[in-house]
Amino acid sequence: MSLIHEIDYGTPASKSEKMVTLTIDGREVTVPEGTSIMRASMDAGIEIPKLCATDMMDAFGSCRLCLVEIQGRAGMPASCTTPVAPGLVVSTQTPRLKDVRRGVMELYISDHPLDCLTCAANGDCELQDMAGAVGLRDVRYGYEGENHVRARNDGAINIKWQPKDESNPYFTFDSSKCIVCSRCVRACEEVQGTFALTIEGRGFDSRVSAGMHEDFVSSECVSCGACVQACPTATLTEKSVIEIGQPEHSAVTTCAYCGVGCSFKAEMRGEELVRMVPWKDGQANRGHSCVKGRFAYGYSTHRDRILNPMIREKISDPWREVSWEEAFAHVASEFRRIQYQYGRDSIGGITSSRCTNEETYLVQKIVRAGFGNNNVDTCARVCHSPTGYGLGQTFGTSAGTQNFDSVEETDVVIVIGANPTDGHPVFASRLKKRLRQGAKLIVIDPRRIDLVKGPHVEASYHLPLRPGTNVAVVTALAHVIVSEGLFDETFIRERCDWSEFEDWASFVSEERHSPEAVEGLTGVPAELIRGAARLFATGGNGSIYYGLGVTEHSQGSTTVMAIANLAMATGNIGRPGVGVNPLRGQNNVQGSCDMGSFPHELPGYRHISDDATRETFEKLWGVSLSNEPGLRIPNMLDAAVEGSFKGIYIQGEDILQSDPDTKHVSAGLAAMECVVVQDLFLNETANYAHVFLPGSTFLEKDGTFTNAERRINRVRRVMTPRNGLADWEVTQKLAQAMGLAWNYRHPSEIMDEIAATTPSFALVSYDYLEKMGSVQWPCNEKHPQGSPIMHVDGFVRGKGKFIRTEYVATDEKTGPRFPLLLTTGRILSQYNVGAQTRRTDNVVWHEEDRLEIHPHDAENRGIRDGDWVRLASRSGETTLHALITDRVSPGVVYTTFHHPDTQANVITTDFSDWATNCPEYKVTAVQVSPSNGPSDWQVEYDEQARRSRRIAGKLEAAE
Amino acid sequence: MSNDAKLVRMANQIATFFHSQPAAEGPQGVATHINKFWEPRMRRQLFDIVDHRSGEGLDPMVLAAAPLIKRPAPSGSTDHPPAA
């Protein structure tokens, strides 16, 4: 194994199909029109010296190192900014070029420290490489003059020198090593789209500055790492590289945070992770990253990680460390005892959306084949289950229709119920790039999310609807499109059932669905809805991206159908630049659904009552499978409270913190006799567990994750599991203890079984992934290359189905006692329940959940910014600090759920989506009032959590 | 909220959706949905309300759907773990 070196072509690839032939250094080269001479040379294997150019960004032409000579043209043009032309004869190395380049280099080095041996970039410094490439041997100017390098010049203070900025927890900024190539500034603009960096001053005074001459952590910098990656010197350097040194080998793997599924190179020294660097060939991220994937991996070696299996009889007992064998035998005998005592259906399992496809497959397999029932569910229940249902009904498959590249060809984007700059940051960067090129944006969200107005990006329409009125708004959009005749009749006649369309069209045309009629309940001015509808229907390629603000409602499934209707009515399905795109929350939530984690479906979304599908698995597994759907997570908890559900195996999921109505969840868990939690840490759910099985991180195992664009990406093991076993091995050994004859030697064998049983995965194997890099399912005989875009020649279900979407107000209503509506979301630096990100330096950006409240509502209640406030609903109450902002409308408050001491889900109710039981997180009627500090409940909870984490013979855990 | 009340609410939510659909789909839609997604003990509980408490609180469309909903096997029919 060696370090993966990616070729830097210097300038981005041209997409032109017209080819141009020219001669470079006597070699004939043919490249697409629009390619730079620099890139064309690199294509031919000739590396022209460069400093300010890199293929992640447009050419800039400032360093004057990449000069070439062109026959018949005067001067020495920069090869990065000069496009190829037919018949050009280019020389990259002439006596004149050599002299000029050496002279340029000499100037750079005259203002650069000569501490190469002790420099963190030693071995990975482009400046050093270029000095070598141009043959620099001497700096005739000396080093004594004006400079940015030394704190003092002959004892006098050097005002040009600036101390190192170490404020960011993950990288340093050392201005003394900067050559002002502007790569960092351009990366921040072009790749990330934040515009946090700039060049201040002119001439010799020019220097890189974060914000208005601020330190990095106080500036708008979002710590995505693009600038660090772009820096050709040691000016911007990962602190981990400074501490450890340069990596010596690397493996391409997939980020274990959000559903974008970025590809990274895990760069290693031995078994120590030096850094994670986004991989340019990663099809989802195209070489970009966010603060989580790039930097927040420190949880994997955090001291809180539990490395030994543990058992206890009662949840009030301290934990007792045991051997793996004892733990497996104990779980197996407890589960069998419970089944004998309370019936076969009295136990179940939850698969993890953070674990690999292979691991998820095994958990649903142990439930179906080992427990003998279908009581298996996954966290998608509480996020995108309505997507599965809604798209399944309308299109015939639950999957998102596009790849992420599709955004590059979109013209009008609707973002509804999603906050990509925080939840899916790398996709947000790609979207912003397209918006800067001129695509139009419509945001439908109760909050003024960052996309509504940011640097060089502004939504044409922001529809700030009242939480819970998605269906009314989307149906009103359809009303405008139909009543104004803006629908795509040709598409509908060809691809959809015309009579169903007619039925739907007459439904949405009713006056009661007009923007004017619903204005009173949605709070959105009718003119905005009309304008947005016209723009979407007539603005070219229209795409819809949505998140949990759509699904986590009592009408979540109905909104998904309304979105699908809108896409079909405007003919925006089946080609690049359009489509319906659910932004999946967790790294492998798509995969966990694909793998049969739902209680009514076997892998590949085939209903459990389908005899042929069951037979496939029955033959292979040698068991008979129940044809009845099993319990969903909320149903499991209901059944537990009622006394018929007594044992659960939970892999990598913290239902106590993430699921709604915490008190109901804890009552359900407390009523069970054997709760088995497999996780990295003693999470909140483990407070109610009887057995703890330590889990492994994504760095410690082989497998695959499937991202939101259905892309199956490899996860590669780069270190030994600290707990001793990868998660798939834990499930396998548990299955063996329960008497199942499983014998997988490697996750690739599990994938082979998936491919053999699941038609949409038929061609997927580790060998094939090795060859292809990644593929998007369906990947089978019909689609051997995978399927970047779905429904290309027609819908999966045959004809697209229009479905009426009647708005039904949620039962969760505001009133005198609870006059405000609470909605929830997430923040860039934290992830989900925060178990991982809270154990990293990301806490510098978000150390607690805060309650966003409009100044008007705050004023009425005598609340000042930063005050403790009590947040109460019909379900419960908690306290947190207020953040006064007009991002939320009057009447709406907002918080995140990343911290267990806030426990936002004490507040949320047990209302749920009509079709899937996906909880209604996004609408809770609440009251907010000033408070003196944590509620009694929080104090009690904290005490209970602290007691339940005791481990016999060990000091108390810190958290 | 008691489990029964919750179940009634869930069933009525499904009926509410099908009320807005073309009339032909109504009860059949409710029944298909419940057959596909409700675990036997939930259906058993539903039938308990339909059979013994004259469908108290249930939307008339749920009652109309009841004959189309699959009756689950009586509880206890799979009271042992599968043979390993």
Three-state DSSP class for A166? Answer: coil
Residue B84 has pLDDT above 70, yes or no: no
Helix (H) and strand (E) counts in chain A: 29, 38
Residue B78 has pLDDT above 60, yes or no: no
Check CB contact under 8 Å for B84 and A739: yes
Question: Which run of H or of E encompasses A30?
Answer: strand A27-32
Distance from CA of B78 to the nearest CA of A (A): 6
The CA distance from A738 to A728, in Å, is 15
Check CB contact under 8 Å for A343 and B10: no
A217 by Cβ neighbours in 10 Å (0-12 / 13-18 / 19+) ranks as: middle
Check CB contact under 8 Å for A344 and B10: no
Check CB contact under 8 Å for A915 and B17: yes
User: E strands along A576-722, which residues?
Assistant: 579-582, 601-602, 606-607, 647-651, 674-679, 691-694, 703-706, 711-715
Distance from CA of A874 to the nearest CA of B (A): 12
A932 by Cβ neighbours in 10 Å (0-12 / 13-18 / 19+) ranks as: exposed
- Averaged pLDDT for residues A527-549: 97
Chain B residue closest to A633 (CA)?
B39
Chain B residue closest to A609 (CA)?
B36
Check CB contact under 8 Å for A370 and B82: yes
List CB contacts (< 8 A) between B1 and chain A.
Answer: 910
Residue A760 has pLDDT above 60, yes or no: yes
Strands A310-311 and A320-321: antiparallel
Structure-token match 């399992």, residue found: A349
Check CB contact under 8 Å for B82 and A344: yes
CB atoms within 10 A of CB A240: 21
Check CB contact under 8 Å for B21 and A642: no
Q: Of the candidates A684, A586, A711, which has an alpha carbon nearest to the alpha carbon of residue A942? A: A684
Check CB contact under 8 Å for A340 and B37: no
Check CB contact under 8 Å for B1 and A644: no
Distance from CA of B54 to the nearest CA of A (A): 22
pLDDT attached to residue A240:
97
Domain boundaries, chain B: 3-68
- Report the mean per-residue pLDDT for chain A: 94
Q: Which two tokens stand for residue A106?
A: 């000499």
User: E strands along A184-262, which residues?
Assistant: 197-200, 207-210, 236-238, 249-254
The CA distance from A336 to A347, in Å, is 9
Q: At what angle do helices B3-19 and B26-37 cross, to 10 degrees?
A: 140
- Averaged pLDDT for residues A265-279: 97
Q: How many pairs of residues across A and B have Cβ atoms under 8 Å apart?
A: 91
DSSP secondary structure string for all residues of A538-568:
HSSSEEEEE-HHHHSSTTHHHHHHHHHHHHH
The string of pLDDT tens digits covering residues A559-590 is 999 999 999 999 999 999 999 999 988 899 99
Instruction: Tell me the helix, strand and coil percentages in chain A, rounded to 5.
Output: 35, 20, 45
Distance from CA of A607 to the nearest CA of B (A): 8
Check CB contact under 8 Å for B72 and A628: yes
Where would I find the H helices in A385-523?
385-394, 420-423, 425-436, 470-483, 489-495, 498-509, 515-522
- Averaged pLDDT for residues A249-268: 96
Q: What percent of chain A has pLDDT over 70?
A: 99
Which site among A331, A335, A366, A638 would you substitute to test the B interface, given the most B Cβ atoms closer than 10 Å to its Cβ? Answer: A638
CB atoms within 10 A of CB B63: 17
pLDDT attached to residue A470:
96
List CB contacts (< 8 A) between A372 and chain B.
Answer: 78, 81-82
Q: Of the candidates A934, A729, A740, A957, which has an alpha carbon nearest to the alpha carbon of residue A848? A: A934
Nearest to A344 among B9, B10, B81 (CB): B81
Residue A958 has pLDDT above 70, yes or no: no
Check CB contact under 8 Å for B21 and A607: no
pLDDT band at A673; cut points 50, 70, 90: very high
Structure-token match 């005791």, residue found: A950
pLDDT attached to residue A704:
97
The CA distance from A510 to A483, in Å, is 9
Structure-token match 């689609």, residue found: A783
A58 by Cβ neighbours in 10 Å (0-12 / 13-18 / 19+) ranks as: middle
Interface predicted TM-score of the whole assembly (ipTM), two decimals: 0.93
The CA distance from A733 to A165, in Å, is 50
Distance from CA of B13 to the nearest CA of A (A): 5
pLDDT band at A735; cut points 50, 70, 90: very high
Instruction: Tell me the helix, strand and coil percentages in chain B, rounded to 5.
Output: 65, 0, 35
Question: Which run of H or of E encompasses A272?
Answer: strand A272-278
Q: Of the candidates A917, A367, A334, which has an alpha carbon nearest to the alpha carbon of residue A664? A: A917
Check CB contact under 8 Å for A916 and B40: no
User: What are all long-range contacts of A62-65, with beta carbons under 8 Å and residues at least 24 apart?
Assistant: A62/A181, A62/A182, A63/A104, A63/A179, A63/A181, A64/A100, A64/A104, A65/A101, A65/A104, A65/A105, A65/A130, A65/A134
Which site among B13, B18, B77 would you substitute to test the A interface, given the most A Cβ atoms closer than 10 Å to its Cβ? Answer: B13
Nearest to B39 among A631, A642, A806 (CB): A631
Check CB contact under 8 Å for A628 and B10: no
Nearest to A600 among B36, B76, B84 (CB): B36
Nearest to A635 among B42, B79, B80 (CB): B42
The string of pLDDT tens digits covering residues B3-51 is 889 999 999 999 999 999 988 889 999 999 999 999 999 999 999 999 9
Nearest to A340 among B1, B80, B84 (CB): B80
